[in-house]
Chains A and B, each alone.
Chain A
């Protein structure tokens, strides 16, 4: 379970087991408060990754000596 321990400036401090970690505040519903439990689902963004890969490949190809 991901439980909101507190808010600090732009961050939400989540408790996961006895570990805490930060999530940007804008990812969390604005009505969320301390003690609320978040359901978190994570999915891959294949298009974004492909674009980044192509961008960096083009930059690197200019910089590596042939």
Chain B
């Protein structure tokens, strides 16, 4: 570089610094928008509520319920560009999860949560750990003997990471209008791994999400008894809509407007169970299902909440 160029650059930096000091320039940081090939654009926009002031993609919280068939995987994009992934689908979902994160612009998973050690929740977590930069890993302090679980631990170990144990009362983050708090597990010595599910309440301003993993009636009772705030606009229905979960008392206390059921087409378990769907309908909750609508994306600025779905429901064919 010539000395003339260097001194010009130095003067430019000086002017910029003076302008900044004088408060003449405000530098805005924006979260990277999804890439053009992101698939987001193909989403059904008819179901999106009108919020024209929020189309610039900044200062919004995005919660993606990925269609991973029979399993769970939820991507949360915070307004400042950080990301959280709650579960990573089953063993066969590695490409689905990794490709979705990449096309959404995710390079680093700041908070990686494995709700509990079942294969349909942590199956592809080892691949996520290997493919992305990872911040914190958060899981309940319980183990399984499966190869799937061991592979997750070995991937964590290879990266030199350690695991923050998920327990009721733990705060994952609390910054400004954003709070992510763990509501369960509240105890130990449970018989079933589902009872250890990390249940997370995520709040952005006036809007809340309740992510329940596979928590069943026992955990729901313990959460209610704990007295923790559990009201939420969006409920990720526990255990894929199994009748083991979403008890009437719990559902009433959460009082969601939307219920997301993460479930596989034609699964062998009859998920979601009719009784759960009936309980949701009775309470007037709008049901969104990944088996019928594909990936579901919620967006909020802390006041207005809207959603888009990957596929449209065909009335009379796959309506809930």
Residues of A bordering B, CB below 8 Å: 3, 5-6, 8-9, 11, 13, 15, 17-20, 22, 33-37
Given contacts A8-B268, A13-B119, A34-B192, contact A18 B151 (CB under 8 A): yes
In B27-49, the 8 Å CB interface with A consists of: none
Q: List 9 A-B contacts (CB under 8 A).
A: A5-B146, A9-B269, A13-B119, A15-B146, A15-B147, A20-B90, A20-B119, A35-B143, A37-B145
> Contact at A11–B268, with CB atoms within 8 Å?
yes
Taking A13-B119, A22-B268, A35-B145 as given, write out 6 further A-B residue pairs in contact, using a Cβ cutoff of 8 Å, ordered by the A residue number: A15-B146, A18-B91, A19-B91, A20-B90, A34-B193, A35-B146
> Contact at B118–A5, with CB atoms within 8 Å?
yes
User: Which of chain A's residues has its CB closest to B90's CB?
Assistant: A20
> CA separation between A64 and B268, bound complex, in Å?
36
In B276-298, the 8 Å CB interface with A consists of: none
Number of interchain pairs (Cβ within 8 Å) = 46
User: Which chain A residues border B146 with CB–CB below 8 Å?
Assistant: 3, 5, 15, 35
B93 CB to closest chain A CB (Å) equals: 12
> Contact at A17–B269, with CB atoms within 8 Å?
no
Residues of B bordering A, CB below 8 Å: 90-91, 118-120, 143-148, 151, 191-194, 242, 268-270
> Contact at B270–A9, with CB atoms within 8 Å?
yes
User: Which of chain A's residues has its CB closest to B192's CB?
Assistant: A34
User: Which chain A residues border B118 with CB–CB below 8 Å?
Assistant: 5-6
B227 CB to closest chain A CB (Å) equals: 30
B192 CB to closest chain A CB (Å) equals: 7
User: Which chain A residues border B91 with CB–CB below 8 Å?
Assistant: 18-20
User: Which of chain A's residues has its CB closest to B119's CB?
Assistant: A5
> CA separation between A3 and B118, bound complex, in Å?
12
> CA separation between A9 and B148, bound complex, in Å?
22
Given contacts A8-B268, A11-B269, A34-B192, contact A18 B145 (CB under 8 A): no
Counting chain B CB atoms within 10 Å of each CB, the highest count among A6, A34, A37 belongs to: A6
